[in-house]
Amino acid sequence: MPTWTVEAIGMFAALLGTICWAPQTIKTIRTRDTKSLSLGTNLLLLSTVILWLIYGIALNSFPLIIANLVSMILVGIIVVLKLKHG
């Protein structure tokens, strides 16, 4: 498979995996309602995207770096709001 095709697939997967957290983050910011959100699950997810970010940096993989950096920010916001608002 050509390199550009592999990179395009990676970028598309990164885009989909990242934007899926945007609606939850936006809703949580707007409503401050975090009762139904699991702190444990979001902490595990935050840990996962941090590890994927480190992995992407080690591989110098732009799709992994960008996707996991943005995901880390979005999930990090959810975790902070969960800790702040319960």
Q: How many domains does the chain have?
A: 1
Burial class (CB in 10 A: 0-12, 13-18, 19+), 42: buried
CATH code: domain of residue 80: 1.20.1280.290
Side chain identity, residue 47: S
Q: What is the pLDDT along the chain (86 residues), one digit of tens a residue?
A: 898 998 889 889 888 988 999 999 999 999 999 999 999 999 999 999 999 999 999 999 888 999 999 999 999 999 999 999 98
33: left (phi over 0), alpha (psi -120 to 50) or beta: beta
pTM listed for this prediction: 0.86
Domain of residue 38 covers 3-85
